[in-house]
Structure 1
């Protein structure tokens, strides 16, 4: 797991972009899918990325610890959650 020294609230966009730049490829992929497609369930991330469940779980944990995503209850199924990107445009178009 990647550690963050600052609290997520005090991080600037550049700090978050820099953190993401140094994150593992799986973390970048999961965040990119969330930023591109919007909120997603774990199953949706699994289908969109073709990554193993454990890798998705670890990537989501890293992104959550970094303050880049939020976990919210799924409005259609209270037993599950959806992941929402907190920031937008961390992957700017070149």
Structure 2
């Protein structure tokens, strides 16, 4: 096994987070919470991150613009959207 092969998994995980690195701290926190939890609503994200709902909305919009968060309508409540990290 060469040194390059040993570093390959670490490099992949580093590259995975590249789109998020230059984002505001709130967006990084929302992304990390979504990484730990498969799918959450905006209110659940606000609860988990302890951020105000308005800040969570801003973070989600930044993450969606970067293409690292997917959203879909909730089947149980069509008024809510479910967010999933897509890195």
Matched, 1:56 2:63: no
RMSD over aligned CA atoms reads: 1.4
Aligned to 2:4: none
* 2:72 aligned residue: 72
Between Structure 1 and Structure 2, how many residues are aligned? 74
Q: Give me the TM-score of the superposition, normalised by structure 1.
A: 0.73
Give the Cα separation in 2 of the matches to 1:61 and 1:37.
18
2:38 counterpart of 1:26: no
Consecutive unaligned residues of structure 1, counting only runs of 5 or more, are 1-12, 88-94
Give the number of the structure whose residues are more often helix, by fraction.
2
For residues 75-86 of structure 1, the aligned pairs below 5 Å read 75-86=75-86
- Alignment-derived partner of residue 10 in structure 1: none
- The 3-state SS of whatever aligns with 1:71 is strand
CA distance in structure 2 between the aligned counterparts of 1:19 and 1:72, rounded to whole angstroms:
21
Query: Aligned-pair distance for 1:17?
Result: 2.2
Counterpart Cα distance in 2 of 1:41 and 1:52 = 14
Q: Which runs of 4+ in 1 moved over 6 A?
A: none
Superposition TM-score, scaled by structure 2 size: 0.78
Q: Tell which structure's C-alpha radius of gyration is larger.
A: 2
SS in 2 for 1:30: helix
